[in-house]
Amino acid sequence: MKEPKLYRFPTRKYHAMAKTVLIVDDIEFVRKTLAEILTEARYQVVGEAADGNEALLQYQRLRPDIVTMDIVMPNMSGIEATRKIMRLDKAAKIVIISAMGQENLVMEAINVGARDYVLKPFTANDVVKTISRALVDEPGRPHRETQAI
Amino acid sequence: MNLMNALPEQFDFYHLGTVNLEPEHTHPISEKLPDDAMAVAFQLSGDVSAALVLHFEKGLDPSIYSEMGNVIASRVATNLSKMENLDILVSPPRLLSEKHWENLSQGHKLTGRTYLHLHRGISIRLHAILINPPQGNTGHA
């Protein structure tokens, strides 16, 4: 079965005010699916990362408005990457998108600073609603406090 | 505890249709990985030490079926957490070579269940195999 061609990143011309997103997931199919959904919803996907280490580097370089973060990844988990990004930037907005549905993991993710949690396999509606909700409590971009990781 | 009971019965798989467990359909599993097959493995660790292998036809997109295996393995971990209060972590996917498959399957009676992936009138058969491997040998380097 051939996967339908979904991924058109980054051909869309973005509105100047489009919110920027960093997608973090070790599986390419998930990154492409998220990029397609978010691009259609007029977000600007500015980067992708396949593990926690890469996510940390990309976050520092790109300073996206929001990050979608998987939990189970090689090298550094999404929980650890979330903890490190939050230490770096207390105003960071991170939404966990994972197939792991155990309550203790959801709580751990929230405790280290994630704004919300979407269970895989997600629908486009799940993702867009959660991302917009996570961004909505931002009347003006909060002052960023940067610390060493 | 029967790990097979924790396999999910059915789920929607993104924009790519549905995945359904075939009722009571078990299949024989070879100790050699068939030439026309690929396999992706997930290590389950914590209160249970096991591996879940998803076995599918060569030529299919391994990224799609790695994610399908990830969903199945994560649902097993979540179901065991709910049913038995077990704390289980799932590893990232690893594509298995023939050698890995032989190592993983050695000395174990392999049984599995069959899933059907249905999308736009096409059905793809996949085999989910749960293995309690020898200590320290889950096919992961």
The per-residue pLDDT for range B41-71, each reduced to its tens digit, is 999 999 988 899 998 999 999 999 999 999 9
So where are chain A's domains? Answer: 20-136
Q: What is the pLDDT of residue A59?
A: 98
User: Which pTM was predicted?
Assistant: 0.86
Q: Which of residues 83-122 of A touch B (CB under 8 A)?
A: 98-104, 120-122
Nearest to A99 among B16, B74, B117 (CB): B74
- A99/B75 touch (CB, cutoff 8 Å), yes or no: yes
Distance CA A51, CA A74 (A): 6
Superfamily of domain B13-131: CheC-like (3.40.1550.10)
**Shortest Cα distance, chain A CAs vs residue B37, angstroms:** 14
Give the distance, in angstroms, between the CA of residue A64 and the centroid of all CA atoms in the same chain: 9
pLDDT tens for each residue of A84-112: 999 999 999 999 999 999 989 999 999 99
- A3/B14 touch (CB, cutoff 8 Å), yes or no: no
Name, in order, each residue with C-beta under 8 angstroms of B82's C-beta and a sequence gap of 6 or more.
none
- B90/A103 touch (CB, cutoff 8 Å), yes or no: no
Q: Are the CB atoms for A39 and A45 separated by under 8 Å?
A: yes
Provide, for chain A, the percentages of residues in helix, strand and coil under a 3-state DSSP scheme, each rounded to the nearest 5: 40, 15, 45
Sequential DSSP letters for A37-49 = HHHHTT-EEEEEE
Among B18, B33, B26, smallest CA distance to B68 is for B18
Residues of A in contact with B8 (CB under 8 A): none
So where are chain B's domains? Answer: 13-131
Q: Which two tokens stand for residue A9?
A: 């990143």
List chain B pLDDT tens, one digit each, 141 residues: 678 889 999 999 999 999 999 987 666 666 777 888 899 999 999 998 889 999 899 999 999 999 999 999 999 999 999 999 999 999 999 998 888 888 877 766 667 889 999 999 999 999 999 887 555 444 443
**Domain A20-136: assigned CATH number:** 3.40.50.2300
